[in-house]
Amino acid sequence: MVLEIQKPRPIWQIMFSTHHTDVGLLYLITSLAGLFMGGALALTIRLELFLPGSQIIADSMTFNRIFTVHGTTLIFLFILPFASAIGNYLIPIMVRYKDMAYPKLNAIAFWMIPPGFALVWLGFADFGWTAYAPYSVISAPGPAADMWIFGLKILGVSSILGAINFIVTILKCKHPDLPLSKIPLLAWAYLTSSLIMIVAMPTFAAALLMLLTDRLGVSGFFNPARGGDPIAYQHLFWFTFHPEVYVLVIPAIGFMYEIIPRFSRKPIFSHGSGVAAFILLSIVSFASWAHHMYATGMSFTEKTVFMVGTLAAVPASAMHVFNFLATMWGGRIRFATPMMWSVGGIALFFSAGAGGVVNTAMPLDFITHDSYWVVGHFHLFVMGTIAFGSFGFLYYIFPYVTGRMYNEKWGNIHFIVSFIGAVMVFFTQHVLGLYGMPRRIFDYPPFPEWVAMNQFASIGAMLLGIGAAIFLVNMIYSAAKGKEANMDDPWGIGGKYYYPYQQKNPHH
């Protein structure tokens, strides 16, 4: 077992270890660094937009760099490493193997993240996390843009190595007595999201190289002045990053599948339907990428195809929601902190999905596209669903990592403050989009509706910031001085819904 706090070790023993829980801990700490750094940038953006005019950021270039690094950090340096952290801790245990399939590859995959992190932050590029051509080719200042490209290249390779490791661990290293159909849904989540990653990511890797050679002036793939097509970049980009959305959200749904049955004191309503929904999502996730591009001048037929492909992803997501609710139905629910985050996450997941249906309906997309509606929409996924699921799971796994209990009361307060904050920010941003406010703007005209809604959203963001501060203090204090956890049943749930990760791993 890990129990870092009870059995202190010199830090290099953790850093140079290839053991899955040590690598998991490194991933976890890195992802939390990404969370707080990216979150600080988010608060800066919201403070700047509290009023029209320049507030705390001197010029638009700084603002543009901030929203770029904000998005890049939270996607690649918080959500992805967090999922890898949890996967490293639990996947070997869930498939009953002594470690990940390739422990050294695992450590290499982690150690590619710090250089990528450094390149993104030292460069501080300005073209948005999407780096659309031809702006990124002819207009974005270097070396920031080039450092971003190299940073993302490294992070992409790291993700692919991690995904290979998860797939091999689950498929090849699981205990022979354990059929694939019986592995927990969290392991299914990692299997499907890793498969998506392997299929999707190489396209972006290619696009990054093309972008780099375009910037160096030796090619013109995306530069219309040299006969290239900037829309081709968007196709390559979204062919990776629409499926990537599912890579981000599927582990979070897996977290909820761990937490909800245990705290409802009931088995999962349908394991089979959860597996089916994961597999469906991993397939249809590749059928919808160009719904990000309706306004680029697509034909009616193209738009129709991608609308249908997008709508096809909804039933599978809805199956997960049904499964959660049916599991909770009639259960004796214990609303401890992890359960609160999961239930809040489901509520926001549902809202985000409903908003997504509006986006993909072709005529309505021309109202919402590139407006604050879209900002609100995808933040309901990445913050409301994925980060909420991740917070819940971090509280859930806290006793396993540290051997201690977090402070339950402050955990509850963290959730309540954050839930109110998230609703205030992201629901308001939807409405702001309907009033026509574009994304990625440093300053806006003082229309009274825009000012009022921006202020409301900024107050919500401050609540999220307060929640994050509470969370940080709770984690640090409890890891050092928290009560020792009852490792058989840290929440006193009782019965057979014990804390599952205590089972002795014979290889340790």
Partner 1 sequence: MSGHSTWPEWVYIGVVVALLVWVGAESWNVERLIDHVPADAEVIKVTGQQWFWTFEHPDGTKEIGELHLQKGKPYKFEITSKDVIHSFNIPDYVVLQDAVPGRINIVWFVPKDTGEFPIQCREYCGLIHYNMRGTLYVEDTA
Which residues lie near partner 1 (CB under 8 A)? 60-61, 64, 126-128, 132, 134-135, 138-140, 224-225, 229-231, 267, 269-273, 295-297, 300, 303-304, 307-308, 311, 314-315, 318-319, 322, 326, 357, 361-364, 366-367, 369-371, 435-436, 438-445
Cα 307 to Cα 301: distance, rounded to the nearest angstrom: 10
Nearer to partner 1, 364 or 473 (CB): 364
Instruction: Say what the alpha-carbon torsion angle 331, 337, 339, 340 is, to the nearest 10 degrees.
Output: 100
Question: DSSP letter string over 36-92?
Answer: HHHHHHHHHHHHHTTSSS-SS--SHHHHHHHHHHHHHIIIIIIIHHHHHHHHHHHHH
- Amino acid letter, 227: G
Q: Residue 275 and residue 324: Cα distance in Å, rounded?
A: 13
The whole-angstrom separation of Cα 367 and Cα 359 is 9
User: Tokens at residue 342, please?
Assistant: 């999961």
CB of 455 to partner 1, least distance (A): 18
Structure tokens at 9: 């070790």
In this complex, which beta carbon is closest to partner 1, that of residue 319 or of residue 348?
319
Which residue's CB is nearer to partner 1, number 14 or number 276? 276
Please identify, using beta-carbon distances, which residue of 2 and 140 lies nearer to partner 1: 140
Residue 32 or 374: which CB sits closer to partner 1?
Answer: 374
CB of 310 to partner 1, least distance (A): 9
Widest distance between CA atoms in the chain? 69
What is the nearest approach in angstroms of partner 1 to the Cβ of residue 446? 12
Nearer residue to partner 1 within complex by CB, 436 or 500: 436
Provide the 3-class DSSP secondary structure of residue 371.
Answer: strand
Please report how close the Cβ of residue 256 comes to partner 1 at its closest, in angstroms: 17
Length of the chain (residues): 508
Two tokens, residue 306: 């991608």
Distances (CA, A) of 306 to 285, 287, 289, 429: 11, 7, 7, 25
Shortest CB 317 distance to partner 1, Å:
9
CB of 448 vs partner 1, minimal distance in Å: 14
Secondary structure class of 436 (helix, strand, coil): coil
Nearer to partner 1, 274 or 411 (CB): 274
The distance of closest approach from Cβ of residue 442 to partner 1 in the complex, given in angstroms and rounded to an integer, is: 4
